Structure 1
Amino acid sequence: MKKWLGLVILSCLLVLASCSSNDDSNNKVIKNNTKGDKEKVTVIPQDNSKDYQTIHSKTPSQTRGYIGYGVTNRKDIDEMEMGLMSLSKEHFSPDKYAFQEGRFLSENEIDGMLGRKSKKTPNGLNPPLGKGSNVQEQAMNSPKELSYVLEQDYLTKESDNKYKLGGISLAISFNSVYQDKVMDSKGQTYDVDVDLDTSKVKADAKNYAQKVVQRVRQNKNLKNVPIFVTLYLEASPDSLVPGYFFDKAYVGQGNSNIGGWQTVNQKYALFPSVSAGDKHKEDEQSFDKFKSDVQNYFDNFIGITGEGYYKDNELSNLTFNINLKFYDKTEIVGFTQYVASLLQSKFPFDRSIPVQIYIKSNEQPESIIVKNPDMDKPFVHVYHQ
């Protein structure tokens, strides 16, 4: 459902961009930091002052969609992209900066960092193959830790019709599970699957980040701009909740050394799960109560999972996914209204927590319910297909 909603939002943005492009007042120019080249773009206004204006170019980024090369879990991709944008507001305020997808680091530059250090790839930041009688053992004995380097650009308005790069943000991601396919000299491929020691990965991450920043500074367009750096630990490839950011740092204009690091205290919990029961017992019990109330509506099985977002150890957002087989549209309408009524009358969580509920039938989206703290009643929408 989230992916479907994302496509809808993206479509809306593209419509805005296409409409705006006919209005000369919205056509802006981006100046390259090191060349005289200029590029016409469209500036898409934000929904509210807390969000960024978006710089839209008809020329796609060199690394558009490339994150999937290093990060395989869609949950992690979404969290890295949106989480990095959110964290970036601390240094690149939406009042002064506009957002643009990363356009300066190329696929070759990113590949150069993600590769293993070897004779063929001497600039690779991941460790060389380890000991072993074959390439599979060698890879497993020396797993890759660094998985991706995500770039986001933040631009400042220079004049009425000109924008220039004001800073970049980086999300440097690391594996908690190393999964790969390796090939021997005869062309035979082998699967690699290794659970990593996350304490070691986090300890190594800062050293990787320092090398990444030094490598980024070699890009002629990024020699002098401020760099906001974040470190992200991926979830396992099949996880139903994303990983999390765990450290951040700011590198000043022209500097290549990361000074002090700050801890980022935010994580996700899956309900129901052993981990949530151990770390968030009261919230797990509240989830069980809500699940029981939802399942009272039908005699047949209703699958329900929850995703809790914790910031500074406080539950800050809730997402529920409900899946069951419906036989007609009126069932969907009635069930959706029933679940919405539970948010009003019997919801066991704190009412100040934003809630999103996605209802599906055979994994197809049927309806959505949203309740924010400032809303008297939940927003309810049933899809008509």
Structure 2
Amino acid sequence: MTKKYIGMLTLALLLTVSGCAPSLGDETGVIQNTEEEEAKTVIIPSLQLDETYYRTLLPYEESASRGLVLSNLSTKYDMKEVENGLLRISQNEFSPDKYLFQEGQYLDTSTLKDWLARSNQTKTGLNPSDEGLTGEAKAKNAPVYISHIVEQNYLEKTDNAVSLSGISIGLALNSTYYYTKEQYGATFEEKLTQAQIEENGKRIAEEVVTRLRKMDGLADVPIVVGLFKQNSRNAVVPGTYFTYSKAPAGKNVSDWKAIDEEYVLFPTTHSKEKYRELDKTFRDFKHDIEMYFSNYTSIIGTGYFKDNQLQKWTITIPIQFYGTAEVIGFTQHLAGLVKEYFNSSMNIEVQVNSLDGAEALLVKKPGDEEAYVHIYSQ
């Protein structure tokens, strides 16, 4: 029998956050050490939802460059993954059991805009000068390598205070440079090689760490830097981080560690060639859905792989339903198909959406025989 729990979990969480639920532990009020004249009083939440989640300080402070990611990255998929991927990297160096999370407070919007410019546009521009170059010549000789920088801060609690103990930096690098040969003309693209991306990414990483070391309070803070390869503008899956390095206190990045991550769209020629069995499973699952209900636009799956092993499969089903009973019936059928096609070791999430928004969500974590189900209209 499928279980319906997600709506209740969300409600319990909201009550806990708002202070209306029974206390799950004592929240701790502490002093945050800053470079400002007056230290700030902050609260450390007692509840950690999962061992992979960082606790964050309250009141929550937004990044000093909040919103800049929207204008700098090409797709909504990269906007999300450039931050989530950096969190995964940070867990390798700053354990969620020991460290607290805070959005970046050192790189503000003005600084980042100057750094992301070309060197002939600002004195601190990290991208190559395009002086005297136009169109294809610019694309061949001076493409824009870096489009965005993400900062995350990690703090530790000692006695009755918290202080900065680590910084993670994500450098979003272009895989394609887009250009026009004439004003208002057609857009062309120049693919950057992996060697170009990696060489320039590491060069920029060293310069960024050098600059951070000169900022107040950052000379001896460990700094993690990850290189993120963006996907193309028309991609429907995000890019990934492909390497990272940790600069110990007072030093720069040096030893780089490779990251083997990939997002794969199902069903495609690529998924069939590289992950044949998983591709067949998805196509069979898709076919069974079509047999039950053909009133849909498309069914797609996005698989997140690490070291060529599937970590999570997110399946999106857009539909056109006209009644609550129809949604319930379809979702019940889906729950059975999820159990039939995806073994208990898989991490599966199925999202059913209509033009009106989310209709149903099915989640099956590794070890679960059946999916947890939530129907939003209930």
Q: Measured at CA, do residues 16 and 234 of structure 1 come closer, stay the same or move farther in structure 2, by a change above 3 Å?
A: farther
Q: Say whether the 8 Å CA contact 2:227–2:241 is kept in structure 1.
A: yes
1:167 deviates by 0.5
- Corresponding residue for residue 159 of structure 1: 159
1:305 deviates by 0.1
Q: Which of 277, 292, 297 is the aligned partner of 1:297? A: 292
Q: Which of 268, 273, 292 is the aligned partner of 1:278? A: 273
The one-letter code matched in structure 2 to 1:361 is S
Q: Say whether the 8 Å CA contact 1:178–1:192 is kept in structure 2.
A: no
Q: Which moved more, 1:363-372 or 1:278-287?
A: 278-287
- Corresponding residue for residue 57 of structure 1: 59
Equivalents in 1 of 2:112, 2:12: separation in Å?
30
Could you say what secondary structure the match of 1:78 adopts?
helix
Alignment identity in percent? 32
1:63 deviates by 1.2
Equivalents in 1 of 2:148, 2:248: separation in Å?
22
Q: Which of 346, 350, 353 is the aligned partner of 1:353? A: 346
Q: Say whether the 8 Å CA contact 2:343–2:369 is kept in structure 1.
A: no
Q: Which of 214, 224, 228 is the aligned partner of 2:224? A: 228
1:72 deviates by 3.1
Instruction: Output the aligned Cα RMSD.
Output: 2.8
1:77 deviates by 1.6
- Corresponding residue for residue 27 of structure 1: 29
1:193 deviates by 4.6
Q: Which of 212, 217, 220 is the aligned partner of 2:213? A: 217
Contiguous gaps of at least 5 residues in structure 1: 1-8
- Corresponding residue for residue 115 of structure 1: 117
Residue 370 in 1 paired to residue 369 in 2? no
Residue 73 in 1 paired to residue 82 in 2? no
Equivalents in 2 of 1:54, 1:280: separation in Å?
38
Could you say what secondary structure the match of 1:380 adopts?
strand
- Corresponding residue for residue 344 of structure 1: 339
Q: Name the TM-score, length of structure 2 as normaliser.
A: 0.87
1:138 deviates by 5.7
Q: Name the TM-score, length of structure 1 as normaliser.
A: 0.86
Matches within 5 A, 1:175-214: 175-179=174-178, 193-199=188-194, 200-214=196-210
The one-letter code matched in structure 2 to 1:281 is R
Equivalents in 1 of 2:116, 2:205: separation in Å?
12
Q: Measured at CA, do residues 215 and 14 of structure 1 come closer, stay the same or move farther in structure 2, by a change above 3 Å?
A: farther
1:296 deviates by 1.0
Equivalents in 1 of 2:193, 2:28: separation in Å?
47
Q: Say whether the 8 Å CA contact 2:27–2:43 is kept in structure 1.
A: no
Could you say what secondary structure the match of 1:358 adopts?
strand
1:29 deviates by 2.0
Q: Which of 245, 248, 263 is the aligned partner of 2:258? A: 263
The one-letter code matched in structure 1 to 2:168 is S
Superimposed CA distance per residue, residues 43-90 of structure 1 (whole angstroms, 9 cap, x where no aligned partner): 233213332111133553321222223213121121121221122111
Could you say what secondary structure the match of 2:361 adopts?
strand
- Corresponding residue for residue 172 of structure 1: 171
1:192 deviates by 5.2
Could you say what secondary structure the match of 1:221 adopts?
coil
1:372 deviates by 0.8
- Corresponding residue for residue 5 of structure 2: none
Contiguous gaps of at least 5 residues in structure 2: 1-8
Q: Say whether the 8 Å CA contact 1:143–1:194 is kept in structure 2.
A: no
Q: Measured at CA, do residues 215 and 136 of structure 1 come closer, stay the same or move farther in structure 2, by a change above 3 Å?
A: same
The one-letter code matched in structure 1 to 2:235 is S
Equivalents in 1 of 2:162, 2:12: separation in Å?
24
Superimposed CA distance per residue, residues 12-41 of structure 1 (whole angstroms, 9 cap, x where no aligned partner): 988755549xx9954332101x44431222
Superimposed CA distance per residue, residues 283-330 of structure 1 (whole angstroms, 9 cap, x where no aligned partner): 222211111111111243451000011111111110000012111111
Greater RCO (CA < 8 Å, at least 6 residues apart): 2
- Aligned residue pairs, count: 363
1:229 deviates by 1.1
Equivalents in 1 of 2:291, 2:112: separation in Å?
51
Equivalents in 1 of 2:353, 2:167: separation in Å?
38
Superimposed CA distance per residue, residues 202-225 of structure 1 (whole angstroms, 9 cap, x where no aligned partner): 232111111111122222132210
Q: Which moved more, 1:264-273 or 1:59-68?
A: 59-68
Could you say what secondary structure the match of 1:56 adopts?
coil
Q: Measured at CA, do residues 70 and 10 of structure 1 come closer, stay the same or move farther in structure 2, by a change above 3 Å?
A: farther
The one-letter code matched in structure 1 to 2:347 is P
Q: Which moved more, 1:355-364 or 1:9-18?
A: 9-18
Superimposed CA distance per residue, residues 178-200 of structure 1 (whole angstroms, 9 cap, x where no aligned partner): 34799x9xxx7677552322312
1:252 deviates by 0.3
Equivalents in 1 of 2:13, 2:114: separation in Å?
33
Q: Say whether the 8 Å CA contact 1:320–1:358 is kept in structure 2.
A: yes
- Corresponding residue for residue 143 of structure 1: 143
